[in-house]
Amino acid sequence: MDLRRIFTGMCTGAFVGFGVFTIWPSSLARWNWLGGWLAAGIIITTGWLVNHYASGMPNRGNGAWVDMALPIWLSALLGGTVILDPVNGLVRGAYGIFHGANTGAALMTIFLQLVGATLAGYLLYTMRRSDV
Amino acid sequence: MWTWQTVLTTIFGGLIFPLVIGLVWGKLADDYKSFGGVLAGFFIVGTIWLLNHGIGLMHEPQMSSSLPGPWSDMALAAFWGLFVADLIEGKKIDWEAIVSGLLGGVLGGLLLFAMV
């Protein structure tokens, strides 16, 4: 365990987690669905460059890949989302567990997302095995 | 309110995101280095976001309550799908990366909590 690497990954992970759930809902509020599409280009690409291209998150070659998606998902689950509304300024979009939002209400979504992702993981494994 | 239709669309939304990332992102980054990652951000995450959250393949009934949340983003599926694919392949769990990801999520959540 290298604490400095963990601390670096924590900061770069928090950067992308915070960035996604402020920039994304704000772009959506301003430019509708095109804003949602553009938000991926604004924040996900920058986050990927920092976390994975420049290895802010300490992934190793022989370890199972931990994507920056983990801090992204957890950020909104815990802290909710924030919108820079074109008319009303900075407003809250969603509440998180830190606000006391009802965690149980999201459990079914989380479970089904994990079911789909597990299937995808298996399909990816079989695809890689059959790669020539 | 959950129906078999929303169960099906949510599972499919969770399946398609890590599958496309796993199939395409690495190839783009191999071919075009950092610019490949930028292309992938737009064309994989942007486009699948439109399907999963814009149009709503992923059902999030908790968002229509008086205290909307907590939001479970499609990012969970991206992390879990890629992680599971590597685990089945026999790779080890890298705790350093996991801990830094979890701490990053907690710090990101605190920052979002502190904003408004």
Note the pLDDT tens digit of each residue in A86-125.
Answer: 999 999 999 999 999 999 999 999 999 999 999 999 999 9
Q: Do B97 and A59 touch (CB under 8 A)?
A: yes
Mutate to test the interface with B, among A84, A112, A127 (most CBs of B within 10 A): A112
- DSSP H/E element including B25: none
Q: Do B38 and A45 touch (CB under 8 A)?
A: yes
For residue B114, pLDDT over 90 is answered with: yes
Size of interface A-B (CB pairs under 8 A): 374
From CA B11, how far away is CA A111, in angstroms rounded? 9
pTM reported for the whole predicted model = 0.95
Q: Do A121 and B95 touch (CB under 8 A)?
A: no
Which of B107, B14, B89, B70 shows the shortest CA–CA distance to A12?
B107
Q: Do B13 and A116 touch (CB under 8 A)?
A: yes
A32 touches chain B (CB under 8 A): no
pLDDT band at A131 (very low <50, low <70, confident <90, very high): low
Strand, helix or coil for residue B96: helix
Chain A residues within an 8 Å CB radius of B35: none
A8-36 per-position pLDDT tens digit: 999 999 999 999 999 999 999 999 999 99
For residue A37, pLDDT over 80 is answered with: yes
Q: Do B83 and A74 touch (CB under 8 A)?
A: no
From CA A109, how far away is CA A120, in angstroms rounded? 17
Strand, helix or coil for residue A85: strand
List the 45-104 stretch of B: residues with Cβ below 8 A of A.
45-47, 49-50, 53-54, 58-63, 65, 67-89, 91-104
